[in-house]
Amino acid sequence: MNKKFDIKKVALISSSHFFHDIYTSFLSTMLPLLINKFQITLFLSSFLDVARKIPTLFNPLFGLTADKMKIEYFVIFCPAFTAISMSLIGIANSYAGLIILLMLSGISNALFHISTPVLIKRYSGKNTATGMSYFMLFGESARTLGPILIAFILLHFGLERSYIVMPIGIITSVVLYMKLKKMVPKEKVSKKEKITKPIKEAKKFIPFFISVGGFIIFRAGIKLVLTLFLTVFLTKKGLSLWISGVFLSILQFSGAISSFASGYISDKIGYKNMLLLTALFTPLFTWFISISNNTFLIPVLLLPVGFFIFSPGPVILGLVQDLKSEYPAFINSIYMTLNFCISSLLVIIVGYSGDKLGLETTIVIFSALSLFSIPFVFLIHKYHNP
C-alpha cells in the first residue's frame, strides 16, 4: 500500500464513481411514472429497489473473485454495463422486464462497489477516511445531478426514450480503459489459495459487522423513505415531477457535501464522535419535514437532513477498509452484502408502511427508530480491529 495520498489516482477512481452512479440514481425520479405505467402500489414498487440489490447476496463470492483478479477491469467495464441496463428501464413493457433490467444493473453495481473502495484504500495512504470522502463525494454528486438529468429527459422526451442517456456510460468505460489499463499491476495474484483462509480471517470481524449492522438497521428506514420515495411523497403533495426531482437533487447535493466533509471531520474528531453527531441530529431534522405544512420549506430542511443521513457512509467504509486483512475486497464484500440486505428488507417495510399509514407517518416512525442506532456506535468503537 502507498504511504502517501495520491490525489491524481484517488480522483480518477472517484470520477468513475460519478459516471457509474449517475445511472443508479435514476430510479427514484422515474418511480412515479413507473407506478402509473404499471399500476403498482408502493409495496410492489419497493421490490424494484430490492431487485437491483439481489445480486449483492453474491457479494462475498464477487469479493473472493476480485481478490484473485485485477480489479481495475471491474471499474473499467461496470459503468457501461450499468448505463445500458438502467437506460432501458423506460422501454420495459412489463413489471417482470423491469425487474430483470434492475437485477442486471445490480450485478455491475455490486462488482463496481466491491472493487473501487479497495483501489481508493490503495492510493490513500494513511488517510483512508479522506480518500473515501473523495470517493463518496463523486458518488453523491452523481446522485445530485442524476435526478435532474433524468427528469429533464422524461419531461422533454418521455419515459420510453430514457435510453438517450446511455452513451455517457459507454464513453466513460472507453476513457477509463485508456486511463486505468496503465494502473493494472503486472504481477498475478495466486489463485491456488483455499477459500477457507479468507473465511477464517473474516470470522474475527463478526462482532464488528454485527455492530455495524445494528447501526445500519435503525438508520436505513429513514434514509430510504427520503431518497427512494421522496419524489412520490412530493408529487402526492401536488408538486410536479420536475420540481420533485430538483428537491431530490438538493437532498443529494447536501449528501455530496456531507460525504466529502464527514471523512475529513472524522479524521479530526474521531469516527465515534462523528457517528454520534449523525445519530443525534438525523431524527431532529427529518421530523421537521414530516410536520411541515409549507412545501417550499422542505428544500431548506433537506440540506441538514442530507448532510446527516449520508455522513456515516464514508466513515464506516473507511473503518471497513482499515480492518487488518489480507483480503480487502472480500471483507468489503461482506460489508456491502450486510448493507444491501438490510436496506432490501427495510425498503419493503417502508413501502408497506407508506401504503398503510402514509409517507408522512412513515417518516415520523423511522425518524424515531433512528435514535436506537446510538448504542451501536459504542459497539463499533469497541470491536473495530480486534
pLDDT at 137 (0 to 100): 82
- 150, 245 Cβ separation under 8 angstroms: yes
pLDDT at 291 (0 to 100): 73
Residue 186 neighbours by CB under 8 Å, 6+ apart = none
Residue 334 neighbours by CB under 8 Å, 6+ apart = 59, 60, 63, 202, 205, 209
pLDDT at 328 (0 to 100): 75
Report the alpha-carbon distance of residue 164 to residue 172 in Å, rounded. Answer: 15
The single-letter code of the amino acid at 33 is L
Q: Is 323 left (phi over 0), alpha (psi -120 to 50) or beta?
A: beta
155 alpha carbon, distance to own chain's centre: 26
Q: Which three cell numbers mark 10?
A: 484517488
322 — phi, psi (to 5°)? Answer: -85, -5
- 72, 366 Cβ separation under 8 angstroms: no
Domain regions of the chain by residue span: 7-383
Q: Which three cell numbers mark 94?
A: 412489463
Spell out the per-residue pLDDT of the chain, length 386, in tens. 556 788 888 888 899 999 999 998 898 889 989 999 999 898 888 888 888 888 777 777 766 666 566 778 888 999 999 999 999 999 999 999 999 999 999 889 888 888 888 888 888 877 777 787 788 888 878 888 888 899 899 988 999 999 999 999 999 999 988 887 776 665 554 455 556 777 787 788 889 999 999 999 999 999 888 888 888 888 888 888 888 888 888 888 888 888 778 877 887 888 889 999 999 998 888 888 777 766 667 777 888 888 898 888 878 888 887 888 777 777 877 888 888 788 888 988 999 999 999 988 998 999 999 999 999 999 998 888 65
The CATH fold of domain 7-383: Growth Hormone; Chain: A; (1.20.1250)
Residue 329 neighbours by CB under 8 Å, 6+ apart = 63, 64, 66, 67, 71, 114, 115, 118
pTM, entire model: 0.71
**CA neighbor of 70 nearest in space, from 174, 176, 187, 172:** 187
325 — phi, psi (to 5°)? Answer: -140, 150
pLDDT at 340 (0 to 100): 78
pLDDT at 161 (0 to 100): 92
